[in-house]
Amino acid sequence: MGIDSKQFVIFSKPFIDAAKNVFETMAFTSLQTGKPIIKKELDPKGEVLSRLKLSGVHTPTKKEYEAILTLSCSRETYLNIASAILMEEIRDYDDDYMQIGEELIKMILGSAKRDLTGLGFSSYADENQNQNYPYSSTVVEVPIECSHGKMYFDIYYNDVLGQ
Protein backbone atom coordinates (compact mmCIF):
# COMPACT_ATOMS: atom_id res chain seq x y z
CA MET A 1 0.00 0.00 0.00
CA GLY A 2 1.34 3.41 -0.85
CA ILE A 3 1.66 6.31 1.49
CA ASP A 4 0.74 9.93 0.86
CA SER A 5 4.10 11.24 2.03
CA LYS A 6 3.09 14.92 1.98
CA GLN A 7 0.04 14.23 4.12
CA PHE A 8 2.11 12.00 6.39
CA VAL A 9 4.66 14.75 7.01
CA ILE A 10 1.91 17.31 7.68
CA PHE A 11 0.24 14.92 10.12
CA SER A 12 3.34 13.69 11.92
CA LYS A 13 5.13 17.01 12.49
CA PRO A 14 2.88 18.13 15.39
CA PHE A 15 3.63 14.84 17.17
CA ILE A 16 7.38 15.17 16.74
CA ASP A 17 7.27 18.78 17.96
CA ALA A 18 5.03 17.76 20.87
CA ALA A 19 7.33 14.87 21.83
CA LYS A 20 10.30 17.26 21.94
CA ASN A 21 8.35 19.63 24.18
CA VAL A 22 7.05 16.88 26.49
CA PHE A 23 10.43 15.23 27.00
CA GLU A 24 12.20 18.54 27.51
CA THR A 25 9.63 19.59 30.11
CA MET A 26 9.06 16.30 31.92
CA ALA A 27 12.31 14.36 31.46
CA PHE A 28 14.74 17.28 31.15
CA THR A 29 16.23 16.08 27.89
CA SER A 30 16.38 17.26 24.28
CA LEU A 31 15.28 14.85 21.59
CA GLN A 32 17.33 14.52 18.42
CA THR A 33 15.26 12.97 15.68
CA GLY A 34 16.89 10.88 12.96
CA LYS A 35 15.81 10.25 9.40
CA PRO A 36 12.37 8.62 9.21
CA ILE A 37 12.28 5.21 7.55
CA ILE A 38 9.44 3.05 6.28
CA LYS A 39 9.42 -0.03 8.49
CA LYS A 40 9.77 -3.48 6.98
CA GLU A 41 8.92 -5.23 10.25
CA LEU A 42 5.97 -3.59 11.97
CA ASP A 43 6.91 -4.66 15.50
CA PRO A 44 8.33 -1.82 17.59
CA LYS A 45 12.09 -1.97 18.09
CA GLY A 46 11.92 -1.12 21.79
CA GLU A 47 10.80 -3.68 24.36
CA VAL A 48 8.76 -1.15 26.37
CA LEU A 49 6.06 0.63 24.46
CA SER A 50 3.18 3.06 24.78
CA ARG A 51 0.61 3.23 22.07
CA LEU A 52 -2.59 5.03 21.18
CA LYS A 53 -4.93 5.08 18.26
CA LEU A 54 -6.40 8.19 16.74
CA SER A 55 -9.19 8.72 14.30
CA GLY A 56 -10.84 11.76 12.84
CA VAL A 57 -11.42 13.81 9.75
CA HIS A 58 -9.03 15.98 7.78
CA THR A 59 -11.45 18.83 7.10
CA PRO A 60 -9.71 20.42 4.06
CA THR A 61 -9.87 17.13 2.11
CA LYS A 62 -12.98 15.83 3.94
CA LYS A 63 -11.19 12.48 4.33
CA GLU A 64 -11.52 10.30 7.38
CA TYR A 65 -8.25 9.02 8.71
CA GLU A 66 -6.90 6.67 11.32
CA ALA A 67 -3.50 6.69 12.95
CA ILE A 68 -1.56 4.70 15.51
CA LEU A 69 1.32 6.20 17.46
CA THR A 70 3.81 3.96 19.22
CA LEU A 71 6.67 5.15 21.36
CA SER A 72 9.11 2.40 22.29
CA CYS A 73 12.50 2.07 23.91
CA SER A 74 14.69 -0.37 25.79
CA ARG A 75 13.94 -1.18 29.41
CA GLU A 76 17.13 0.65 30.44
CA THR A 77 16.13 3.81 28.57
CA TYR A 78 12.64 3.62 30.06
CA LEU A 79 14.03 3.42 33.59
CA ASN A 80 16.36 6.35 32.85
CA ILE A 81 13.39 8.40 31.64
CA ALA A 82 11.26 7.36 34.65
CA SER A 83 14.10 8.26 37.02
CA ALA A 84 14.46 11.71 35.43
CA ILE A 85 10.73 12.40 35.59
CA LEU A 86 10.36 11.26 39.20
CA MET A 87 13.70 12.74 40.27
CA GLU A 88 14.65 9.47 41.98
CA GLU A 89 16.48 6.38 40.83
CA ILE A 90 14.07 3.78 39.49
CA ARG A 91 15.62 0.34 39.04
CA ASP A 92 12.63 -1.92 38.72
CA TYR A 93 9.96 -1.87 36.12
CA ASP A 94 6.43 -2.30 37.52
CA ASP A 95 2.82 -1.32 36.79
CA ASP A 96 3.12 2.07 38.48
CA TYR A 97 6.05 3.04 36.32
CA MET A 98 4.34 1.59 33.25
CA GLN A 99 1.95 4.55 33.64
CA ILE A 100 4.75 6.96 32.82
CA GLY A 101 4.86 5.90 29.19
CA GLU A 102 1.08 6.10 28.93
CA GLU A 103 1.09 9.57 30.49
CA LEU A 104 3.86 10.74 28.17
CA ILE A 105 2.09 9.64 25.00
CA LYS A 106 -1.16 11.23 26.23
CA MET A 107 0.71 14.47 26.87
CA ILE A 108 2.22 14.25 23.39
CA LEU A 109 -1.25 13.86 21.91
CA GLY A 110 -2.58 16.70 24.06
CA SER A 111 0.19 19.03 22.93
CA ALA A 112 -0.10 17.94 19.29
CA LYS A 113 -3.87 18.43 19.27
CA ARG A 114 -3.59 22.18 19.19
CA ASP A 115 -1.45 22.08 16.03
CA LEU A 116 -3.51 19.29 14.49
CA THR A 117 -6.67 21.34 14.92
CA GLY A 118 -4.94 24.27 13.23
CA LEU A 119 -4.05 21.98 10.32
CA GLY A 120 -7.66 20.86 9.96
CA PHE A 121 -7.44 17.46 11.67
CA SER A 122 -10.12 16.54 14.16
CA SER A 123 -8.84 13.81 16.48
CA TYR A 124 -10.39 11.28 18.83
CA ALA A 125 -8.12 9.04 20.85
CA ASP A 126 -8.49 5.41 21.85
CA GLU A 127 -6.08 4.78 24.70
CA ASN A 128 -6.23 1.00 24.44
CA GLN A 129 -2.58 -0.04 24.43
CA ASN A 130 -3.27 -3.23 22.48
CA GLN A 131 -3.99 -1.72 19.09
CA ASN A 132 -2.74 -3.58 16.04
CA TYR A 133 -1.89 -2.14 12.67
CA PRO A 134 -4.34 -2.97 9.90
CA TYR A 135 -3.20 -5.63 7.42
CA SER A 136 -0.34 -4.47 5.14
CA SER A 137 0.00 -1.06 6.81
CA THR A 138 2.75 1.39 6.04
CA VAL A 139 4.40 2.48 9.25
CA VAL A 140 7.08 5.13 9.47
CA GLU A 141 9.69 4.91 12.22
CA VAL A 142 11.31 8.06 13.52
CA PRO A 143 14.46 7.17 15.48
CA ILE A 144 15.08 9.39 18.48
CA GLU A 145 18.15 9.91 20.61
CA CYS A 146 18.34 11.70 23.91
CA SER A 147 20.52 11.73 27.01
CA HIS A 148 18.47 8.85 28.46
CA GLY A 149 19.01 6.57 25.47
CA LYS A 150 17.42 5.65 22.15
CA MET A 151 13.70 5.61 21.41
CA TYR A 152 11.55 4.89 18.38
CA PHE A 153 8.43 6.80 17.42
CA ASP A 154 6.37 4.69 15.01
CA ILE A 155 3.59 6.47 13.18
CA TYR A 156 0.91 4.83 11.11
CA TYR A 157 -1.42 7.15 9.20
CA ASN A 158 -3.94 6.30 6.56
CA ASP A 159 -7.08 7.63 4.93
CA VAL A 160 -9.79 5.21 5.98
CA LEU A 161 -11.56 5.42 2.62
CA GLY A 162 -8.26 5.06 0.77
CA GLN A 163 -7.61 1.51 1.91
Partner 1 sequence: MGPNIGIKILIVDDKLTMRKVIKNMLDELGFKNITLANNGSEAWTLLEQASSGGDPFEFIISDWSMPEMSGLDLLNKVRDDDNYKTTPFLMITAEAEQSNVLVAVKAGVSNFIVKPFTTDVLKEKINKINF
Q: Which of 77, 111, 138, 158 binds partner 1 (CB under 8 A)?
A: 111
List alpha helices for 45-87, DSSP H. 75-86
Where on the phi/psi map is residue 149: left (φ > 0), alpha (ψ -120 to 50), or beta? left
DSSP 121: B
Binding range to partner 1, per CB under 8 A, among 4-12, 20-28, 59-67, 140-148: 20-28
Q: Total binding residues for partner 1 by CB under 8 A?
A: 20
Q: Which of 52, 109, 144, 146 binds partner 1 (CB under 8 A)?
A: 109
CB of 36 within 8 A of CB of 141? yes
22 forms part of the interface with partner 1 (CB under 8 A): yes
Q: What is the nearest approach in angstroms of partner 1 to the Cβ of residue 106?
A: 5
Element (H, E) at 149: strand 149-159
Burial-class residue 88 by CB neighbours within 10 Å (0-12, 13-18, 19+).
exposed
Cα distance from N-terminal residue to C-terminal residue, the chain: 8
29 forms part of the interface with partner 1 (CB under 8 A): no
Site for partner 1 in 141-160 (CB under 8 A): none
Please identify, using beta-carbon distances, which residue of 47 and 127 lies nearer to partner 1. 127
82 forms part of the interface with partner 1 (CB under 8 A): yes
Interface with partner 1 (CB under 8 A): 21-22, 25-26, 82, 85-87, 96-97, 99-100, 103, 106-107, 109-111, 113-114
